[in-house]
Structure 1
Amino acid sequence: MKILITGGAGFVGSSLALSLKTDYPQYEIFVLDNLKRKGSELNVARLTKAGIQFVHGDIRNKEDFDPIPPVDTLIEASAEPSVLAGLTGTPDYLINTNLFGTVNCLNFALKSKANVIFLSTSRVYPIKTIETLNFDEHETRFVLSDEQPVPGVSSKGIAENFPLDGARSLYGTTKLASELIIQEYQEFFGLKTVINRCGVITGPWQMGKVDQGVMVLWIAKHYFEQQLAYIGYGGTGKQTRDMLHIADLYRLIDWELHNIDQVNGQILNAGGGNESSASLQELTKICQEVTGKTIPISSVAENRAADIRLYITDNTKVTKLTGWKPELGMKEIVTDITKWLDENRAALEPILK
């Protein structure tokens, strides 16, 4: 099998590529990346050492696909991933990468007669609708109620039939627009496709920043003994997310890669679910336990643009179709990332500190 992974030197793309090469050494794997994200250059040596073919290119440029031979499957893992992208300054890079770049990927897949696995985001769901959901305030976190004003949400989380009307951030909009185009290619050009709306993905080799990769950021700030802040929602740190370890995502992508006919044309929510979720307050406690360090955390009551109080993934559909469900919980995720920081401190300190 020949596979192309776009964004292949990024956190998600490189992790998937390396896991696939480990499990299927006979597969020919190509990764395409523009190395824009700080830290992605560290992955090139890891990929090359594993026998994965790195192509320095940009999905915005269709000619950058020319050195790559026809493949059997394209895994679209490239993106400008920040929910704040485009909100200050020009949104050109965001739109050209996340939307027009996807079109170039689809045209390459069409030329190759390749299947397409697309990594979308939970951010396709509108912010105002999420913010008006019914919730309970517990001692350390916010919790979704079963009684809700809209369909597609319960105490289990948000499902695929959650309403899509409304604004969601330019990032979320470009991913949703890409989903719509993918569905057209699937229906009218016969491409086999599956769309995964992922929650917060995390794990080793993620270069966490304030606007993207909050889990690694939170752990790294503890590890390097720096400061943090609970921002928004009263500054209590009760805002809550589910977290999906990259190893759990890999198991789903691996299944889809080899069973595409069973999920062809599907849109699937995939996240940690309630079982692997935490508020910032709860995450802080786990970080203190695992790293043995306590750091100053300030409090800012005012919300930031595009923030949401509470998001949990309802994995019911993906589990029913594929049998997949996440296995790694919050303590295991924090422990794994802390171990990675220990083993690679010299290389990571200039990036994450």
Structure 2
Amino acid sequence: MRILITGGAGFVGSSLAIALKQNYPSYEIFCLDNLKRKGSELNVARLGKQGITFIHGDIRSKEDFDALPNVDSVIEASAEPSVLAGLNGSPDYLINTNLFGTVNCLNYAVKCKANFIFLSTSRIYPIKTIETLDFVESETRFELTNNQKVKGVSSRGIAEDFPLDSARSLYGTTKLASELIIQEYNEFYNLKTVINRCGVLTGPWQMGKVDQGVMVLWIAKHFFEQQLAYIGYGGTGKQTRDILHVADLYRLIDWQLHNIDKVNGEILNAGGGVEVSVSLQELTKICQKITGKTIPINTVAENRPADIRLYITDNSKVTALTGWKPEIGVEQIVEEIHAWLAENREALEPILK
């Protein structure tokens, strides 16, 4: 099999590429990336060591696709991933990358007659609707109840039939627009596609920032003994998310690559679910335990733009279709990221400190 991974030097793209090459040494894997995100340059050497071909290019440029070889499958993992992107300035890069870039990827896949696996986001679900959901406040977190007035949500989390009629951030909108276009290509160009709406992804080699990659950010701030803040919702740190280790995501993508006919045309939520979820307050305690360090954490009561109180993925559909479910728990995720920080401190300190 020959596979192109866009965003291939990013956290998710490089992680998928390396795992695929290790499990299928005979596969030819090409990684396309513009290296815009700080830290992605570190992954180029990692890809090369595995025998993966790195191509410096940009999905916004049609010409960059002309030089690419034909492949059997495309994994579209490129994105401007910040939920705050475009809110405080021009949205041009966001829209050109996350929407028009996806169209270029689709046209390339049609030319190659390649299968198309798209990494979307849970952020396609509208903010205001999520914020009106019924919840309870426990000692350390917010939790969804079964007493909901909208469909597609329960104590298990948010499902694929959750209502989509409201604003969701420019980032979420570009990904949802891409989903709609992918469905058209599936129907009218006979392109085999599957869309994965991923929750919070994390793991070693993620260059965490406050607006994207909060798990690594939280652990790194403890590791380097800097300060953090609980921002919004009263400043208690009870905001809750499910998290998914990139190795668990890999298992799903691996299955889809080799069973595309069984999920062709599907839209699937993929996250940690209730079982692999954590609040900021709970995450702080785990970080203290694993790093052995306690750092100052400020409190800011006011909410940030585009933030949500809690998000949990309901994986019922993807599990029923594929048998997949997450296996790596929160403590193991923190342990792995902490070990990665310790092992690569010199290279990571200028990026994450």
TM range (shorter): over 0.9
Partner residue, 2:93: 93
Partner residue, 2:312: 312
Partner residue, 2:76: 76
Within 5 Å, give how 1:327-346 maps onto structure 2: 327-346=327-346
Distance 1:238 1:211 in 2: 17
Partner residue, 2:166: 166
Partner residue, 1:220: 220
Given residue 75 of structure 2, which amino acid in structure 1 is its aligned partner?
I
Alpha-carbon deviations, 1:67-126, whole Å to 9, x = none? 211100000000000000000110000000000000000000000000000000000000
Alpha-carbon deviations, 1:38-87, whole Å to 9, x = none? 00000000101110000000000011112211100000000000000000
Distance 2:348 2:64 in 1: 30
Asked if residue 207 in structure 1 is aligned to residue 175 in structure 2, the reply is no
TM-score, normalised via structure 1 length:
1.00
Given residue 65 of structure 2, which amino acid in structure 1 is its aligned partner?
F
Q: CA deviation at 1:136?
A: 0.2
Q: CA deviation at 1:149?
A: 1.0
Aligned Cα RMSD in Å?
0.3
Given residue 181 of structure 1, which amino acid in structure 2 is its aligned partner?
I
Partner residue, 1:148: 148
Given residue 232 of structure 1, which amino acid in structure 2 is its aligned partner?
G
Distance 2:162 2:286 in 1: 31
Distance 1:149 1:231 in 2: 28
Distance 1:218 1:333 in 2: 12
Alpha-carbon deviations, 1:237-290, whole Å to 9, x = none? 000000000000000000000000000000000000011000000000000000
Partner residue, 2:323: 323
Within 5 Å, give how 1:118-267 maps onto structure 2: 118-267=118-267
Partner residue, 1:102: 102
Partner residue, 1:347: 347
Given residue 347 of structure 2, which amino acid in structure 1 is its aligned partner?
A
Question: Among the aligned pairs, what percent are the same residue?
Answer: 81
Q: CA deviation at 1:196?
A: 0.1
Distance 1:191 1:339 in 2: 41
Aligned to 2:350, what secondary structure does the other structure show?
helix
Distance 2:13 2:62 in 1: 19
Given residue 317 of structure 1, which amino acid in structure 2 is its aligned partner?
K
Distance 2:66 2:349 in 1: 37
Partner residue, 2:284: 284
Aligned to 2:105, what secondary structure does the other structure show?
helix
Alpha-carbon deviations, 1:195-214, whole Å to 9, x = none? 00000000000000011000
Partner residue, 2:115: 115
Given residue 260 of structure 1, which amino acid in structure 2 is its aligned partner?
I
Alpha-carbon deviations, 1:140-164, whole Å to 9, x = none? 0000000101000000000000000
Partner residue, 2:268: 268
Distance 2:337 2:295 in 1: 18
Q: CA deviation at 1:317?
A: 0.2
Aligned to 1:334, what secondary structure does the other structure show?
helix
Within 5 Å, give how 1:5-16 maps onto structure 2: 5-16=5-16
Query: Which consecutive residues of structure 1, in runs of 5 or more, have no partner in the other structure?
Result: none
Aligned to 1:109, what secondary structure does the other structure show?
helix
Given residue 66 of structure 2, which amino acid in structure 1 is its aligned partner?
D
